[in-house]
Chain A
């Protein structure tokens, strides 16, 4: 590490610390103007309750204290409104509008907290924008750019010596994962308003899969041996994982405590769409910046490899232009917010009533978006995947893939290559695909019939649980939070329903495969180690079998790290059905075997 890189790292660390601390710097004070509630009934009751609690006279030092009281006030208001509703609604007002629901309270809390903040961050967002995003980008680039000066070539030196990237023991990893899942399931009960049914159902499905894999497919005796580094010598990675997990938990379920970050990015949001920054804008901006900066790192690392360079530019472009900027601009032009490259079922809310209504009611462009989305699902995915494999999406276009290939690249070696992991993968990812399809069908049934119940089950609850369990907990908390613990494609490998769909096409009808170069493989294991999808590439390469695996996202890194030039990503039409049949290094030919039999 040269001096420039050390300075870069220091600047980045400072920026990160300021960013983390920013949420504790402001104080919060409620006033009638700050109470961000448009509904007059709600506003009156909440204000009343807040005044009784003495909130107006108080300045709160933290968002936690502030929200504690605000929540009390809202609960009181809720009870009062419920009571009053029983005695009769005012003329011309629906019960729905009159009563104060849980969802509305979450929104009020977030907006009100944001408005009530005063202090260094809320008053100087630009300064903090510079101190956090600005300084962080500068530090990151100072750290990354000198890498362009090194000799080109694969430089994985020290990855397994580095506390940031060496991972942790399988047992500990399991404990982390178990604790996270448990946390999600317990929280899920409160999330859906006290019902344990959905957490229980999830446990049942999970247990079934574990039983299939461990008992039925006999994986219990086949203990995975490829454990990682001893103890928590990978402590920096663990810390990073914990930070990421914390970030996602706050983003999805406690955004009222990160309003300072939204203040910081307000100026950018106002510039782009004219609106105040929501937590989703914050997330989108952060995501895009991370993809850009870490994309530059990726290019520096693989600057001898044109496939990697072009692919990285591609994900940077799609994230920045198509996923982030274009929707903001559409909003500015009073068009629907739409990410043109996000495909159902990854884009699980595409067929939700509000989205369909929004698109249908937005004139020509909206209809185009609707048709575009459906055409991608039924024609785009299979046809393009037939020609190029699922990589066209997963490692060239997709946003999740984009983050995995940039921010996640330093962690790709941590994917689990054991057979057991593969067994789990097949069950879980297809279960998620099934869940997504069923959920969407139910939602559409409700949309067309107007009936919320499909065979006693409310499609609204199914869809809420899907959003909570799959989209937030799985894709976000585990999918990204576990980068430093389980590799950078946890979501793409185990969870993404679109990846499952693309994978089925890739496996059964695609020109794509990874060709093995005759008998050149020396079984070194670099390819398997650096396969982010946990494919044991070597198992195929060492017996001269071309690799056709539904999970392969065609990142090309196995080919890049192979020291013997054994692997090549290729497309070919003439042998689609027998792509992986040959075992070319089988040395004693079948003809010779027949001698013995005859």
Chain B
């Protein structure tokens, strides 16, 4: 059987690796972007000079041949699921028995005037990185449009090369659709402290060209014109599925799949950013463009592709978690932490006096069960948090054992006592912290 995978990102590659573990089928992985799998999440570090492109490849180049995973470089233009045939941009074709679509995302563009000028781009692909490299020499200012995770990475990238950045953010405060107000403001402060020209509640109206058709300036909705040689469009991403339009594969915003990551067409599966789940699990969204879901989907899809019709495995990403880094502030979240919590979400929020660290615990006001943890500048142990979350552990029990979740390096100050003290102050209770940081305690808990 010939299994073809479109996309050599984390979803496609994880699938290929697991298919190889599970079977001896012929595997072909197609990508139009790069010859080998690399870590998209590390694009910024290449630009910043922390790593070379080579260093972002999780597997050495000989890995693929050794594991009999064939790599094809090229863009698929059209899929014919009925005749089981792929058409490439250059006219070539490829037949498959089973197909995995793992084509990832593309940067959003909202029809801004001038969005296709020279020097205007998003940051998603390796080619985008090359674009940034090309425009950087002599660049006087970059304007970045869209205050999300990729926007702030782009700001950090230019900042690392001492290129002034103006950062246009539509919202009242950075990423406040996701981050609660205090954390969001912490990041505002941190962006400013890094010397970025942060403009909140400011939108892009149009991009002005120079005589050569290159971006020269942007005009904001406040009527201001900002001179710049580069405009970064980072207002989110959406599934990269346009080439599937007339294929007969059912689509929403992404490729629609059932619990087993099957599309409407037997033998055609999808995984990763390009997927839209028909029935997302509780607390999860239908499209989740994050690294680990791509990995999990890839693994699940591999099992189901190999199994064909029988005893398929449902995709279950478990409890929501995520992480990011905003300049120097690390961020981790476990469970449900909402920017605008409903009435039944009670919150305990502790912030360090240096304004760069915080711990937020969200719990059910009525039952007391823990719902979510949000960390800034502090690391927590995923498995401990998830176990608490999945068993709805009462907040007071969580608090007394909170140290167990701490994952900061040795000798780092532990703040859990302060969190408990804060809770005691606010609730009039008199809890004490029973568990401190350490693997032994965490393991006892996890294995109990």
**Chain A interface residues (CB < 8 Å from chain B):** 151-154, 156-162, 221-229, 304-307, 310, 413, 417-419, 515, 517-520, 522-526, 528-529, 538-539, 542, 556, 559-560, 563-565, 568-575, 584-588, 592-593, 595-596
User: Are B382 and A518 in contact, CB atoms less than 8 angstroms apart?
Assistant: yes
User: Are A529 and B58 in contact, CB atoms less than 8 angstroms apart?
Assistant: no
B residues within 8 A CB of A565?
Answer: 323, 330, 332, 379-380, 407
Q: Which residue of A lies closest to B300 (CB)?
A: A588
Taking A157-B160, A161-B49, A585-B292 as given, write out 6 further A-B residue pairs in contact, using a Cβ cutoff of 8 Å, ordered by the A residue number. A157-B161, A158-B160, A160-B49, A519-B296, A520-B382, A556-B409
User: Are B62 and A222 in contact, CB atoms less than 8 angstroms apart?
Assistant: yes
Per-residue A-contact encoding for B375-386, CB less than 8 Å = 1, 0 else:
000011111001
Contact residues, B118-177 vs A (CB, 8 A) = 160-161
Q: Could you give 26 example pairs across A and B, Cβ below 8 Å? A: A151-B327, A156-B48, A157-B48, A158-B49, A158-B160, A159-B50, A161-B49, A222-B60, A226-B52, A226-B55, A307-B412, A520-B332, A520-B382, A523-B10, A524-B42, A525-B39, A525-B55, A542-B295, A556-B409, A556-B410, A572-B440, A584-B383, A587-B296, A587-B300, A588-B313, A595-B311
State whether A585 and B295 are in contact (beta carbons under 8 Å apart), knowing that A518-B383, A524-B39 are contacts in the complex.
Answer: yes
Q: Which residue of A lies closest to B52 (CB)?
A: A160
Indicate which residue in B42, B62, B327, B413 contacts A223 across the interface (CB closer than 8 Å): B62
Once the chains are docked, how many angstroms separate the CA of A156 from the CA of B381? 26
State whether A522 and B41 are in contact (beta carbons under 8 Å apart), knowing that A573-B440, A587-B295 are contacts in the complex.
Answer: yes
Which of B58, B66, B193 has the most chain A CB atoms inside 10 A of its CB? B58
Indicate which residue in A413, A519, A525 contacts B382 across the interface (CB closer than 8 Å): A519
B307 to chain A, nearest CB (A): 6
A237 to chain B, nearest CB (A): 14
A residues within 8 A CB of B382?
Answer: 517-520
* B321 adjacent to chain A (CB < 8 Å): yes
Once the chains are docked, how many angstroms separate the CA of A454 from the CA of B402? 63
User: Are A307 and B54 in contact, CB atoms less than 8 angstroms apart?
Assistant: no
* B273 adjacent to chain A (CB < 8 Å): no
* B116 adjacent to chain A (CB < 8 Å): no
B residues within 8 A CB of A575?
Answer: 443
State whether A520 and B439 are in contact (beta carbons under 8 Å apart), knowing that A525-B55, A526-B42, A595-B311 are contacts in the complex.
Answer: no
* B61 adjacent to chain A (CB < 8 Å): yes
* B184 adjacent to chain A (CB < 8 Å): no
* B299 adjacent to chain A (CB < 8 Å): yes
B residues within 8 A CB of A571?
Answer: 439
Once the chains are docked, how many angstroms separate the CA of A32 from the CA of B439? 71
User: Are B45 and A526 in contact, CB atoms less than 8 angstroms apart?
Assistant: yes
Indicate which residue in B51, B291, B439 contacts A522 across the interface (CB closer than 8 Å): B291
A residues within 8 A CB of B408?
Answer: 568
A residues within 8 A CB of B321?
Answer: 518-520
Once the chains are docked, how many angstroms separate the CA of A515 from the CA of B52? 26
Once the chains are docked, how many angstroms separate the CA of A157 from the CA of B49? 5
Q: What 9 A-B pairs have minimum CB-CB distances, sorted nearest first?
A: A153-B328, A518-B382, A565-B379, A524-B42, A306-B411, A225-B61, A158-B49, A522-B41, A157-B160
Once the chains are docked, how many angstroms separate the CA of A538 from the CA of B38? 13
State whether A518 and B62 are in contact (beta carbons under 8 Å apart), knowing that A526-B50, A565-B330, A587-B296 are contacts in the complex.
Answer: no
User: Are A596 and B58 in contact, CB atoms less than 8 angstroms apart?
Assistant: no
Once the chains are docked, how many angstroms separate the CA of A223 from the CA of B61? 8
B380 to chain A, nearest CB (A): 8
Indicate which residue in A306, A419, A522, A542 contacts B409 across the interface (CB closer than 8 Å): A306
Once the chains are docked, how many angstroms separate the CA of A538 from the CA of B57? 10
User: Are A515 and B409 in contact, CB atoms less than 8 angstroms apart?
Assistant: no
User: Are B330 and A307 in contact, CB atoms less than 8 angstroms apart?
Assistant: no
User: Are A539 and B381 in contact, CB atoms less than 8 angstroms apart?
Assistant: no
Per-residue A-contact encoding for B405-440, CB less than 8 Å = 1, 0 else:
001111111000000000000000000000000111
Once the chains are docked, how many angstroms separate the CA of A160 from the CA of B41? 18
* B303 adjacent to chain A (CB < 8 Å): yes
Indicate which residue in B54, B300, B332 contacts A227 across the interface (CB closer than 8 Å): B54
Q: Which residue of B lies closest to A417 (CB)?
A: B55
A131 to chain B, nearest CB (A): 34
* B108 adjacent to chain A (CB < 8 Å): no
A308 to chain B, nearest CB (A): 9
Contact residues, B247-268 vs A (CB, 8 A) = none
User: Are A305 and B409 in contact, CB atoms less than 8 angstroms apart?
Assistant: yes
* B84 adjacent to chain A (CB < 8 Å): no
User: Are A574 and B443 in contact, CB atoms less than 8 angstroms apart?
Assistant: yes
A557 to chain B, nearest CB (A): 11
Once the chains are docked, how many angstroms separate the CA of A226 from the CA of B330? 28
User: Are A528 and B55 in contact, CB atoms less than 8 angstroms apart?
Assistant: yes
A354 to chain B, nearest CB (A): 42
User: Are A157 and B443 in contact, CB atoms less than 8 angstroms apart?
Assistant: no
User: Are A224 and B60 in contact, CB atoms less than 8 angstroms apart?
Assistant: yes
Q: Which residue of B lies closest to A595 (CB)?
A: B311
A residues within 8 A CB of B307?
Answer: 596
* B194 adjacent to chain A (CB < 8 Å): yes
User: Are B50 and A157 in contact, CB atoms less than 8 angstroms apart?
Assistant: yes
Once the chains are docked, how many angstroms separate the CA of A593 from the CA of B61? 30
